[in-house]
Amino acid sequence: MTGWTARETAAALRRREVSAVEVAEFFLDRIQRLDLQIGAFLAVSREWALQQAELAQKTIDDGSAGPLSGIPVALKDNLTTREIPTTCGSRILEGHRPVYDAHVVERLAQAGAVILGKTNLDEFAMGGSTESSAYGVTRNPWDTDRSPGGSSGGSAAAVAAGFCPVALGSDTGGSVRQPAALCGVVGFKPTYGRVSRRGLVAFASSLDQVGMFGRTVEDAAFLAEAVSGHDPGDSTSIPFEPVSLEPVPLKGVRLGFPKQLRDSAIDPDVARVVDAALASLRKEGASVVEIDLPSIELGVSTYYVIAPAEASSNLARYDGIRFGPRVDGDGHVGTVASTRGKLFGHEVKMRMILGTYVLSAGYYDAYYHRALQVRGMMAAEFEKVFQEVDWVVSPTSPRTAFRLGEFADDPLALKAMDLCTVPANLGGFPSLSLPCGASDGLPVGLLLTGPAMSDGRLLGTAHSIESALGPFPAPDLG
Amino acid sequence: MGSGYEASVGMEVHVELATKTKMFCRCPTGFGGEPNTRVCPVCLGHPGTLPVPNREAVEMVVKTALALNCQVPTDSVFHRKNYFYPDLPKGYQVSQYGETNPIGYHGWLEIRPKGREPKRVKIRRVHLEEDTGKLIHTAEGGSGVDYNRAGVPLMEIVTDFPPDITDPEEAKEYLVQLRLLLLYLGVTDGKMEEGSLRCEPNISVRPLGAATYGTKTELKNLNSFKSVQLGIEYEVGRQIQALERGEAVLQETRGWNESTLISYPMRTKETESDYRYFACPDLAPMRFTAETVERVREDLPESPRARFDRYRRDLGLSDYDAGVLTSEIEWAEFFESALGQGVDPKLLCNWLTGDTARMLNESGLAIRDSQLTPSHLADLVRMIESGEINSKVAKEVLEEAFKSGAMPSETVRSQGLAQISDDGFIVEEVARVIAENPGPSEQFRSGKEQVIGFLVGQVMKATQGRANPAKVQEEMRRQLG
Ligand SMILES: [Zn+2]
């Protein structure tokens, strides 16, 4: 059953070859048996999962099943769930039980999905290795001495390890696509606004987007279709139909590779794997041309001004007064200071301080305002390029999975690895990573980014690429 | 004011909008009630929640901006004002920043302080934001926060700098006129005592003719018009005395104590707070097309000033009457509504400002709390106009309406109070009175004109005032002539 995709599982459930409860039990048992060595989950709710499975089975039996009925799903622990605490990987939300379900959680319930549990993440999704979680590390199923990437490392590892066929994460600067690449699965970030952010605990509101993990492009699309679409409860939600895969043959597809990424910090082995993949796409009739995106090199610095600025404001609400644990101090100021001082981790504090700084009087123009200008410039450059090519392609991550602790003393080097993924967040573009080969036994991801609202065609193109490149294996965990 | 000095008063007014629901969630608005009973995850700032703007609130601010002669931008953005305070759930307040970004900017309001020339007070900005919660202190010495008010739509109206207002009387008049306008627009209940309208003036004084303005102090806790005037008067005096003594005026926020009539220091503003304003990424910019703005402008209700002018010009009311009928919203609405039922404006005005006002005064009731409705007054005036009742009866049925809520025409019908205009009956009654009063009748015939009053009075007395006096007199003259 680990080999089954979500679509195959759905088909087997409809044919009554297996029951929803059997499917749920299979994955719950697998998690129980193997997650000790991975650490993908922060919480698994066996009881709730089986309740959902029984309900799903009833709908299958009486013919009222939804598209995802009986399909197990894992959620990154920054999506609110009434049934399971939502911690964001932070002590400041330890044991926090939200009083409402995220929009995507409501949608999953309507579609009949079976939520197994909540997955690990960098604290408040800030990081690229899942190591800044306050609740322990997650290991890469391909090599447990290595990181699964981040910040949605738990969801990526869970899908790679066969703990669930599909999972949700969130992508602010690459937090779905980069761990997908490092774990050898598909990661999809839709156009900003196509999935409601209601119930996604905010990190950087103008960049955050819920994203999907699957072993195949079709599965990521399957999940995207179920959770996307307009939500009047999110003012930035686009009033448009849900995302759905539109078939696109490879013949005639124009792929653009930014020349600025040629002579940059891309690992030569990663570059070789990506080049080989692009060569085989050429054989299928796609064209690959070099394109000019000068501002791409400013992406990371722009991102690390805008994201912390928004975060410094978004995270001001964690003061221990209305929810979550509190560390008492002297008066209101003292209590807020000790709660935040003791319960936020180092990375989060660093980013809030940075964000506070770039918004301060006297620095606003030099940093925040400037970053907004570059953001606009970069989006315009991409839009221009999209008139010449269908998709911008590159490696997803300049490197394959790195060793745990490798960047402990060099946080900036870890941030520099967001180079290829941040432009899609800054421009609000849909973007997808799919496995395109391996280097030293570690997966390499190919990144495709398209114009706003091209989600359906992006999925279709990625599906054709996936077929051309052949199936990507799963790691052997026993 | 102390001679040799002049004051400058900037007015910052916060207005709670009269929407049914809060600014960014659908919790009901309201006053009082158990703490934290009108809250939800959104207005409590729970993780993952998002704001959805209240359209009605936005429209109310556009209305106000236009009524205050402001510019309305094509794009207006919400910003976050970041600071920590227990009554602020999210650690930031959604507000509006910038010179030309607020929904309204660069407008004016005309004031007419008693016995002075009219004056335009320039308005710098009219913007929309969300209210905060309230700190509560328990009897046991503990403290808590009530978030019922958190997220209630709040409109801020700020006068321009340098201030046009130069004394406490003008400040009060500005607030009176502003509140009246807001009530006409129907955007707030304007209750100062409940905090729906909060005024925080900033005050400075300088020697007459000085080129620069003095140090400002900001005054809080002004819960009535009277407090606004007294508070500013006190503060101006205090600052002049300080300067006279050679002391510096500190830049600070001061509170007004309503019982001692003294202002006291609350906090010193040594440094300007840095609120790190930036555009709220959870909210799309508001777009105001020229058509939208024009449509709102066309739909604006009549302003108090325009109505005053119309009453004088078109209805022929005196300045005094027009003033009485426009300067209080309940009276204005009552009069307009009764007038709308097609009765004579002057008669209506007289009955409203005369007997009705007297009865309300005597009973201590506000017109909206009494049983009288505009229909009662319109009904009454209609019967007076048609001669169906005379003014003596009118007074009686008005008293009855006031006491029981009975419709005047209903009282007249059930108690048979209609005037008697039946010719045969009047001819008989006049003949009887002439026969019973030969002396006076003879006096009239011999030219003593004023005796007619006595004779008519006898007929009225006999008919308990119901006979039509004009007809009685006409008949009396005919029979005696
Ligand atoms: Zn609420």
The whole-number pLDDT of residue B311 equals 94
* Residue A415 falls in the annotated catalytic set: no
Sequence letter at residue A420: C
What distance in Å separates the CA atoms of residue A175 and residue A67, rounded to the nearest whole number? 27
Average of per-residue pLDDT across A1-25: 94
Alpha helices in A176-230, H assignment, sequence order = 177-183, 217-227
- Which pLDDT tens digit goes with each residue over A75-86? 999 999 999 999
Percent of chain A scoring above 90 in pLDDT: 97
Residues around ligand 1, an ion, CB closer than 5 A: B 25, 27, 40, 42-43
Cα dihedral B225→B228→B234→B240 (10° resolution): -130
- Which pLDDT tens digit goes with each residue over A279-296? 999 999 999 999 999 999
The whole-number pLDDT of residue A391 equals 98
Q: Does B278 touch chain A (CB under 8 A)?
A: yes
Q: Does A309 touch chain B (CB under 8 A)?
A: yes
What distance in Å separates the CA atoms of residue B393 and residue B407, rounded to the nearest whole number? 14
Closest by Cβ to B44, choosing from A315, A322, A361: A322
- Report angle CA B200, B202, B207 to the nearest 5 degrees: 155
Q: Does B44 touch chain A (CB under 8 A)?
A: yes
The CA distances from residue B21 to A233, B40, B64, B114, B149, in Å, are 15, 12, 19, 39, 11
* Number of alpha carbons in the 13 Å side-chain half-sphere of residue B8: 21
- Asked if B381 and B366 touch (Cβ cutoff 8 Å), the reply is no
Interchain proximity A232–B82, CB inside 8 Å: no
* Residue A133 falls in the annotated catalytic set: no
Sequence letter at residue B373: T
Which residue has tokens 């003014």? B391
**3-class SS at A146?**
strand
Q: Give the minimum alpha-carbon distance from B92 to chain A in angstroms, rounded to a whole number.
A: 7
CB atoms inside a 10 Å sphere around CB B362: 9
* Residue A442 in tokens: 């570690």
* Number of alpha carbons in the 13 Å side-chain half-sphere of residue B451: 17
Chain A environment of B49 (Cβ under 8 Å): 100, 198-199
Q: Does B285 touch chain A (CB under 8 A)?
A: no
From the candidates A45, A76, A155, A228, which is the catalytic residue? A76
Scored b (16 or more CB within 10 A) or e, A191-220 reads: bbbbbbbbbbbbbbbbbbbbbbbbbbbbbb
- The contacts of residue B192 (CB under 8 Å, 6+ apart) are B179, B198, B199, B223, B224, B225
* Residue B412 in tokens: 């007249």
What ranges do the domains of chain A cover? Answer: 1-478
Q: Does B78 touch chain A (CB under 8 A)?
A: no
Q: How far is CA A166 from the centre of its chain?
A: 12
Q: Which helix (H) or strand (E) holds A438?
A: strand A431-439
Distance B156 CA to ligand 1 centre (A): 21
Question: How big is chain B by its Cα radius of gyration, in Å?
Answer: 30
Q: Could you give the domains of chain B?
A: 8-203+269-290 (no CATH), 302-414 (no CATH), 423-480 (1.10.10.410)
Q: Cis link prior to B162 (omega < 30° from 0)?
A: yes
Please, which residues 194-213 of chain A have a Cβ atom closer than 8 Å to chain B? Answer: 197-202, 204-206
The CA distances from residue A425 to A93, A176, A206, A419, A451, in Å, are 26, 11, 8, 11, 12
- Which pLDDT tens digit goes with each residue over A20-49? 999 999 999 999 999 999 999 999 999 999
Q: What architecture (CATH level 2) is domain A1-478?
A: Alpha-Beta Complex (3.90)
The whole-number pLDDT of residue B470 equals 82
- Which pLDDT tens digit goes with each residue over B211-263? 998 999 999 999 999 999 999 999 999 999 999 999 999 999 999 999 999 99
- Asked if B363 and B436 touch (Cβ cutoff 8 Å), the reply is no
Q: Give the minimum alpha-carbon distance from A62 to chain B in angstroms, rounded to a whole number.
A: 35
The whole-number pLDDT of residue A2 equals 76
What distance in Å separates the CA atoms of residue B57 and residue B103, rounded to the nearest whole number? 11
Distance B83 CA to ligand 1 centre (A): 20
Q: Give the minimum alpha-carbon distance from B202 to chain A in angstroms, rounded to a whole number.
A: 24
Residue A168 sits at φ, ψ, to 5 deg, of: -105, 145
Chain B environment of A232 (Cβ under 8 Å): 52
SS (H, E, C) chain B: CCCCEEEEEEEEEEEECCCCECCCCCCECCCCCCCCCCCCCCCCCCCCCCCCCCHHHHHHHHHHHHHCCCECCCEECCEEEECCCCCCCCCEEEECCCCCCCCEEEEEEEECCCCCCCEEEEEEEEEEEECCCEEEECCCCCEEEECCCCCCEEEEEEECCCCCECCHHHHHHHHHHHHHHHHHHCCCCCCCCCCCEEEEEEEEEEECCCCCCCCCEEEECCCCHHHHHHHHHHHHHHHHHHHHCCCCCCCEEEEEECCCCEEEEEEECCCCCCCCCEECCCCCCEECCHHHHHHHHHCCCCCHHHHHHHHHHCCCCCHHHHHHHHCCHHHHHHHHHHHCCCCCHHHHHHHHHHHHHHHHHHHCCCHHHCCCCHHHHHHHHHHHHCCCCCHHHHHHHHHHHHHHCCCHHHHHHHCCCCCECCHHHHHHHHHHHHHHCHHHHHHHHCCCCCHHHHHHHHHHHHCCCCECHHHHHHHHHHHHC
Average of per-residue pLDDT across A204-221: 98
* Residue A24 in tokens: 């749920």
Q: Cα dihedral sign for A43, A47, A48, A52?
A: positive
**3-class SS at A449?**
strand
What distance in Å separates the CA atoms of residue A77 and residue A41, rounded to the nearest whole number? 9
E-strand ranges in A60-120 read 72-76, 114-119
From the candidates A45, A175, A394, A431, which is the catalytic residue? A175
The whole-number pLDDT of residue B270 equals 61
Distance B29 CA to ligand 1 centre (A): 9
Residue B110 sits at φ, ψ, to 5 deg, of: -90, 135
What distance in Å separates the CA atoms of residue B430 and residue B386, rounded to the nearest whole number? 23
From the candidates A151, A196, A228, A464, which is the catalytic residue? A151
Task: Flag whether pLDDT at A159 surpasses 60.
Answer: yes
* Residue A333 in tokens: 């100021």
What distance in Å separates the CA atoms of residue B468 and residue B456, rounded to the nearest whole number? 10
Average of per-residue pLDDT across A318-325: 94
Please, which residues 99-138 of chain A have a Cβ atom closer than 8 Å to chain B? Answer: 99-100, 102
* Residue A360 falls in the annotated catalytic set: no
By DSSP bridging, strand A186-189 and strand A209-214 are: antiparallel
CB atoms inside a 10 Å sphere around CB A441: 10
- The contacts of residue B350 (CB under 8 Å, 6+ apart) are none
Q: Does B179 touch chain A (CB under 8 A)?
A: no
Which residue has tokens 């505009």? B374
Interchain proximity B281–A319, CB inside 8 Å: no
The whole-number pLDDT of residue B13 equals 98
Sequential pLDDT tens for chain B (481 residues): 557 899 999 999 999 999 999 999 999 999 889 999 999 999 999 999 999 999 999 999 999 999 999 999 999 999 999 999 999 999 999 999 999 999 999 999 999 888 889 999 999 999 999 999 999 988 787 889 999 999 999 999 999 999 999 999 999 999 999 999 999 999 999 999 999 999 999 999 999 989 998 999 999 999 999 999 999 999 999 999 999 999 999 999 999 999 999 999 998 766 668 999 999 999 999 999 999 999 999 999 999 999 999 999 999 999 999 998 998 888 889 999 999 998 999 999 999 999 999 999 999 988 888 999 999 999 999 988 887 888 888 898 999 999 999 999 888 888 877 777 677 888 888 899 999 999 998 898 888 888 888 888 888 888 877 788 888 888 888 888 7
Q: Does B55 touch chain A (CB under 8 A)?
A: no
What distance in Å separates the CA atoms of residue B23 and residue A374, rounded to the nearest whole number? 33
Chain A environment of B278 (Cβ under 8 Å): 309-310, 313, 359, 364, 368
